[in-house]
Copies of this chain bind each other. A is one copy, B any other.
Amino acid sequence: MSQGTAPGRATLQSVARAARVSRQTVSNALNAPHVVSPETLQRVLAAVDELGYRPSRAARQLRTRRSHTLAMRLDPFRDGVNGSVLDRFLHALVEGAQGAGYRVLLFTAEDDAGELERYAELLEASDVDGFVLTGTHAGDPRSGWLAERGVPHSAFGRPWDDPAAPLPDAERGAGCWVDVDGAVGTRAAVGHLVASGHRRIAFVGWPAGSGSGDLRRSGWREACAERGLELPDHYDVAVPDGVDAGRASASALLTSALPPTAIVCASDSLALGVLAVAAEAEGAGGLGEGTPATAVVGFDDTPAAAAVGLTSVAQPLAEAARTCLDQLLAQLDEGASPCPPRLLPPELVVRRSTRGARP
């Protein structure tokens, strides 16, 4: 995780290292000294002196004047089918925040750098108590920037820099986060399809490199491998997201020498395209009672999936929002212990697109 600071400048991290304590303990020593043991306090303050560390004015203000406001970036409306996931998260977050006496402030930013500028502005004005991050990605500087300044925050989305260590020690300063385990979702999809008699199950996902997409693919692959299912190369399709890409992928799969009887997708957009082709192939109404013989599973349980009867993996968005909020409130409560990151399991919502398909 990038710290975004010039070498040599004292940071919360360097103080923590020098005093051989966690960042949280340094933060506690500076902001709530009564919760720190006298020995530790002395060691931290000595390191602060030695290194010349000066916590930012903004972070200090944050501790003394509560605005009862959490801030979150909201991007322009882009992806019709999948964008609704973050909208549903936002609704749950605002509702949960209200219950805890907090409001949610929205802003926009072009990119990470723009978002950090907004953070700085909002902290300068001292009108937020903490931040909710979404859209985490490899090389993401945001959590580090906030941790550096002792600013409470929680991310919906894990830090992707080290996906091999999905549940790091909170003390490492990665900040708090909650994420949904996509691999559990595609595993559940394979389990459901196998239980319905399917043995030839393909996957239509995104090109390697997107953390969440890779996890969704790995869940499908591992679940198939464990059951000894055949996995010819052409069953692993990597395309950009979208209904059209789903159509094209399904056409190729269903006209191949060994067509699958079921297709698991990394998104509902892809699945809607796959479902349309499957329905045409059968001459059955994709929207109607007739079930296409090729079973199709989407991901994210969007309103479009519900409307057309598409089986899909549902993220527990309300629980994710509540967990982010709990993590933030724990940080705002000076004496609270560091909050562990959490991975939530998604749930398969079974609908017409996989019900009664005969492989």
Contact = CB atoms under 8 A, between A and B. Distances in A.
Interface in A73-126: 74-77, 80-81, 83-84, 87-88, 90-92, 94-95, 98, 103-108, 122
A107 B304 CA distance: 27
Given A279-B288, A286-B286, A303 B81 contact: yes
A304 to B, nearest CB: 4
B290 A280 contact: yes
Contacts of A286: 279, 285-288
Interface string A293-329: 0000000001110111000000000000000000000
A291 to B, nearest CB: 12
A8 B285 CA distance: 66
A91 B76 contact: yes
Interface in A58-85: 67, 69, 71, 74-77, 80-81, 83-84
Contacts of A87: 77, 84, 87
A226 interface: no
Nearest to A286: B287
Contacts of A284: 285
A244 to B, nearest CB: 11
Q: Which of A75, A80, A104, A285: most chain B CB closer than 10 A?
A: A285
B106 A77 contact: no
A127 interface: yes
A106 B103 contact: yes
A98 B277 CA distance: 42
A29 interface: no
A253 interface: no
Given A80-B307, A87-B84, A276 B285 contact: yes
Contact of A285 (B88, B127, B285): B285
A263 B256 CA distance: 39
Contacts of A75: 91
A283 interface: yes
Interface of A: 67, 69, 71, 74-77, 80-81, 83-84, 87-88, 90-92, 94-95, 98, 103-108, 122, 127, 243, 269, 272, 275-277, 279-280, 283-290, 302-304, 306-308
Across the A-B interface, give the 7 residue pairs with the lowest CB-CB distance, nearest first.
A286-B287, A80-B303, A280-B288, A77-B91, A304-B304, A276-B287, A98-B108
